[in-house]
Amino acid sequence: MSTPDELLTANLHDVFGNRDATARRAAIERTYAPDVVFTDPEGSVTGWDALEAKAAGLLDPTPGAFQFAEEGRRYVSATHGALSWGFGPVGDPVARGIDVIEVRDGVITTLTTILAEGQAA
């Protein structure tokens, strides 16, 4: 069973930061509940397939040099976690945000992404 801290890492690096579609799908299935709800400024989607489409839609059109990097502290409890990040070339992110997760039975049940003020979705 994964901890919220481990799931924060998997969410950012193994899923949203992973350009290998096969490895990303495997990470999705071990990291999230099948009925995971993901909410970002564009709205909410439910399930593994929808989450996979969101990750691919973010990564596929961006240059290979774009990466997610953790920024700042992690915040965790037994059932929740939060992690801030930057996305772009190393040392020069073009987007910043924070992911907030809710965890049940060792998997993420809800994921909310909040973008830094002034950034478009």
CA torsion, points 47, 105, 23, 44, in degrees to nearest 10? 30
Number of domains in the chain: 1
pLDDT single digits (tens) 78-119: 999 999 999 999 999 999 999 999 999 999 999 999 999 876
pLDDT single digits (tens) 13-67: 999 999 999 999 999 999 999 999 999 999 999 999 999 999 999 999 999 999 9
CATH number for the domain spanning 12: value is: 3.10.450.50
Q: Supply the pTM of this predicted model.
A: 0.94
- 66 is in which domain, residue-wise? 4-115
Domain-located, residue 45: yes
Domain-located, residue 121: no
Residue whose C-alpha is closest to residue 66's, from 91, 32, 42 = 91
